[in-house]
Amino acid sequence: MLAVKAVVETNYAWAALSLVALVVWFSPTVAGTVWIPAQALTVAGFAVLQQLALRSVAE
């Protein structure tokens, strides 16, 4: 279960850092401005689903 927790935390970090990078570091094209938040939300959604699945198995 520790490995799954690491994957979930990595996904949350990826999503958060993608949004931070969009605001702080990147000057993306219009496509990038749409793609980066969409990708971050998708990864965060997978992290939520993984976390819920982990909770249901742990109980």
Residue pair 44/11 in contact by the 8 Å Cβ criterion: yes
Q: Tell me what pLDDT residue 48 has.
A: 97
Tell me the pTM. Answer: 0.85
User: Residue 5 — φ and ψ, nearest 5°?
Assistant: -60, -40
Per-residue pLDDT of the chain (59 residues; tens, 9 = 90+): 889 899 999 999 999 999 999 889 888 899 999 999 999 999 999 999 999 999 998 77
Q: Tell me what pLDDT residue 26 has.
A: 80
Residue pair 36/21 in contact by the 8 Å Cβ criterion: yes
